[in-house]
Amino acid sequence: MNGSNNKHQFIFNKYSFNKGFTLLELLTTIGILSIIGVICVSVITVTFRTSKKADLINFARQDGDTAMSQIVRNIRFAGSLISPATCVPSLTASSVTVSSVTDHQQTTYSCANGTISSNSASLVDSTSLQVTSCLFICSQQSSAVPPIITIQYSLSPKVSGNFAENNFILPFQSSVTVRNY
């Protein structure tokens, strides 16, 4: 009975040593979980940065489209083109002045100080966006033909940084004929 008791005790002691993990197994598991964690954090970071850039571009596109549609509509239905007075030959300017058909009020669209404005009121959100290039091209085949005004400008974030999501240039261009010329 003494021999069988020792044999049983030896087996019990053998199993008690195999119940834990070795240091190598623990370090391998920690290493694998760390790598998986770094990959997950990288994927989440890239996703958030891409989402932020898409939001910024959508905001800039909306703001730029709104400004462009206002300029195009007002030039198209203007009573007359005040400045430049003639577009023969074609010329490039940083501003255009038109007068209204109904009340003959003058509206000047200009590119200055990193924005595009209507009578000095910015047409884009100048706190977050800046106009990087802006010009008006006036062309006319002859003085008897209505002038065509081409509006070109680009928007970019006002504060660009080292991050890719804060660096973009969004171009806008449209041509409009003054109908009531």
More confident site: 169 or 161: 169
pLDDT of residue 106: 93
3-state secondary structure the chain: CHHHHHHHHHHHHHHHHCCCCCHHHHHHHHHHHHHHHHHHHHHHHHHHHHHHHHHHHHHHHHHHHHHHHHHHHHHHCEEEEEECCCCCCCEEECEEEEEECCCCCEEEEEEECCEEEECCEECCCCCCEEEEEEEEEEECCCCCCCCEEEEEEEEEECCCCCCHHHCCCEEEEEEEECCCC
Mean pLDDT score, 87-104? 89
pLDDT of residue 139: 93
Question: pLDDT tens-digit profile of 74-88?
Answer: 999 998 889 898 888
Say what the pTM is: 0.73
| pLDDT for 2 beyond 80 | no
Q: Give 154's pLDDT tier (boundaries 50, 70, 90).
A: very high
